[in-house]
Amino acid sequence: EVQLVESGGNLVQPGGSLRLSCVASGFTFSSSWMTWVRQAPGKEPEWVAIINEDGSGRNYVDSVKGRFIVSRDNAKNSLYLQMNSLTVGDTAVYYCARDRDWGDLDIWGQGTKVTVSS
């Protein structure tokens, strides 16, 4: 079964850090570009970051540049998002998704909830 399973979401104070994980199964993870997309309550999804097949290429939305780092471990079929200097504005459900081709996000996880609050 093709599947993405996120974990690591939690309640964290402003200025804190969190590391999200996403484990893939049922497809060739090591050949796939992977993305993180977040969705604040009642808002549209927001594309956050992307990483290429071997981790040598990454891109981020401006609002997280310098604070978030996307990485992967192909041996573990896992994608990660290290989030630092968190603000209230980072509160959202975070989804990992496969970017099959030019934004064609064909596989999505169920999401993990991140709440930044004092």
User: Applying CB under 8 A, does 17 fall inside the site for other proteins?
Assistant: no
User: Cβ(48)–Cβ(33) under 8 Å?
Assistant: no
User: Applying CB under 8 A, does 105 fall inside the site for other proteins?
Assistant: yes
Least distance in Å: CB of 118 to other proteins?
Answer: 28
Comparing CB distances to other proteins, the nearer of 92 and 118 is: 92
User: Cβ(86)–Cβ(93) under 8 Å?
Assistant: no
Count residues near other proteins (CB under 8 A). Answer: 24
Cβ neighbours for 53, distance < 8 A, ≥ 6 positions apart: 30, 31, 32, 33, 74
Tokens of 29: 């993870």
Comparing CB distances to other proteins, the nearer of 16 and 39 is: 39
User: Applying CB under 8 A, does 1 fall inside the site for other proteins?
Assistant: no
Comparing CB distances to other proteins, the nearer of 12 and 64 is: 64
Question: Which of the ranges 9-17, 20-28, 75-83, 103-111 carries the binding residues for other proteins, by CB under 8 A?
Answer: 103-111
Binding site for other proteins (CB under 8 A): 35, 37, 44-47, 50, 59-62, 95, 99-106, 108-111
